[in-house]
Amino acid sequence: MTRLLGAPDVATPLPRAGHGLIDQIEKAGLLGRGGAAFPSATKWRAVAERSRGDAVVVVNGAEGEPQSHKDRLLMISRPHLVLDGAFLASRVLRARRVVLYVGERHDAARQAMLRALGQRTEPERATVTLAAAPARYVAGAETAAVHLITEGIATPTNVPPYPFERGVGGAPTLVQNVETLAHIANVARGIYDGTTLLTLAGGVARRGVVEVPIGTTVGGAVSASGGLRERPRAVLVGGYFGAWVEPEVAWRMPLDHRTRLGCGVIGIHPASRCPVCDVAAIMRFLAAESSAQCGPCFFGLQALAGACTRISEGGDHPTDMQRLQRWTVEVRGRGACRHPDGAVMFLSSALQVFAAEFANHGSHHNMSQIA
């Protein structure tokens, strides 16, 4: 049941793997666990078609999502399994190089990966290099990872060319999240059982990472981590690029990639906190994390964050509410990367689920001022 976190991490010989592994990955229906839920088999095929023994495998452990911890925990507890996935990819895709792209502040994860690497065979070790992902939200994006490894700057770049076409140093490149690679190692050994890692945050009894079968409901996942600490007002499914859901709906909602599980963060927003103030703070964070390469993203997110902040401070809000509705539509799909799209999806769902709180925030604000 807990193939990733429940099993011991040992360096066992890799199973034989060729092109058939890609079919197995497809049959397992594996989707990327970094947040975008892109079908892994499609990605592998795109790199395999183009590789002439020069492909690059980037093991993406940047984990820039503020609430997420599952990638770090996985690298700390199952580094060999992650490396297994990376070396299988390297063999199947005929790669020349494997790059471990680990968050620069995730020291324990990096050390665990290096320790495990030291126990691998010399030919395996010789292909691996380490790159530190800057601790910024967009640094985990595929093109940002490629840009950092190639040129040393972790800004996202325009697509096409996609990394599978022209990635690290111009070579076809597979950028794959660490959890996805770990699952693929289990697929190759025939022991993948369809679980996913979740990070539970907010008003739960025990915050942290759990491994549950895909399709588990939010209610089931929360019970698996010891239940609730406080009465919930809403659930944020999928982190800051995810969507807010009413708790009654979320509780029965199976977590899979149709429900936009994203990077696997489940945030329980307790009824005791003001959602408008929290949404405004997160919008300010996302606006500050724009790499300022595209006008609609930089100015659009700043304008949205500004309007949210004015509402949270009890300012002129009927106009700002109309602006929010209009601007969320105008910003979507207008960046080189998905940063603005994720941010407005987060905000649109907040405006729906917290409609009452947004409409009456002035009085809440005045009350808290008096108190």
Partner 1 sequence: MTNSLLWYATRGAGAVTEILLTCVVVLGILSTLRVQTARWPRFLTTGLHRNLALMTLVFLALHIVTAVVDPFTNLGWAAAFIPFASSYRTFWLGLGAISFELLLAIVATSLARGWLGHRAWRLIHWLTYAAWPVAIVHGVGTGTDTWSAWMLAITACCIAAVGVSLVWRLTTSSRDPLAAPRLDFRSAVDRREVR
Site of tokens 């395999």: 48
Asked if 155 interacts with partner 1 (CB under 8 A), we say: yes
Asked if 290 interacts with partner 1 (CB under 8 A), we say: yes
Which of the stretches 214-222, 263-271, 285-293, 339-347 binds partner 1 when contact is defined by CB under 8 A? Answer: 285-293
* Conformational region of residue 314, where left means phi above 0, alpha means psi within -120 to 50, and beta covers everything else: left
CB-based contact 270:233 (threshold 8 Å) = yes
Tell the smallest beta-carbon distance from residue 243 to partner 1 (Å): 26
The structure tokens listed for 259 are 């429900």
The structure tokens listed for 128 are 């691996």
Which of the stretches 16-24, 192-200, 206-214, 295-303 binds partner 1 when contact is defined by CB under 8 A? Answer: 295-303
Helices (H), 29-101: 40-50, 70-77, 79-92
Asked if 298 interacts with partner 1 (CB under 8 A), we say: yes
- For partner 1, which residue of 6, 20, 295, 318 counts as binding (CB under 8 A)? 295
For 370, other C-beta atoms within 10 Å of its C-beta total 5
Tell the smallest beta-carbon distance from residue 255 to partner 1 (Å): 32
State which residue, 271 or 292, has the beta carbon closest to partner 1. 292
Tell the smallest beta-carbon distance from residue 98 to partner 1 (Å): 17
Asked if 157 interacts with partner 1 (CB under 8 A), we say: no
Asked if 143 interacts with partner 1 (CB under 8 A), we say: no
Q: Which long-range contacts (CB under 8 A, 24 or more apart) does 310-316 make?
A: 311/276, 311/280, 311/358, 311/361, 312/274, 312/276, 312/277, 312/279, 312/280, 312/361, 312/365, 313/365, 314/361, 314/362, 314/365, 314/366, 314/369
Asked if 154 interacts with partner 1 (CB under 8 A), we say: yes
Burial of 252 (0-12, 13-18, 19+ CB in 10 A): exposed
- For partner 1, which residue of 117, 139, 218, 234 counts as binding (CB under 8 A)? 139
Q: Residue 261 carries which DSSP code?
A: -
State which residue, 144 or 304, has the beta carbon closest to partner 1. 144
- For partner 1, which residue of 94, 136, 229, 338 counts as binding (CB under 8 A)? 136
Distance between CA atoms of residues 47 and 70, nearest Å: 26
State which residue, 51 or 155, has the beta carbon closest to partner 1. 155
CB-based contact 199:266 (threshold 8 Å) = yes
Site of tokens 């890609």: 22
The structure tokens listed for 195 are 């679980």
Which of the stretches 19-27, 267-275, 284-292, 359-367 binds partner 1 when contact is defined by CB under 8 A? Answer: 284-292
Asked if 132 interacts with partner 1 (CB under 8 A), we say: yes
Tell the smallest beta-carbon distance from residue 296 to partner 1 (Å): 11
Q: Residue 171 carries which DSSP code?
A: S
State which residue, 150 or 348, has the beta carbon closest to partner 1. 150
- For partner 1, which residue of 24, 223, 293, 348 counts as binding (CB under 8 A)? 293
The structure tokens listed for 244 are 């807010």
The structure tokens listed for 115 are 């320790």
Q: Which of residues 234-253 bind partner 1 (CB under 8 A)?
A: none
Size of the site for partner 1 (CB under 8 A): 18
Asked if 153 interacts with partner 1 (CB under 8 A), we say: yes
CB-based contact 321:312 (threshold 8 Å) = no
Asked if 144 interacts with partner 1 (CB under 8 A), we say: yes
What are the residues binding partner 1 (CB under 8 A)? 132, 134, 136, 139, 144, 148, 151-155, 290-293, 295, 298-299
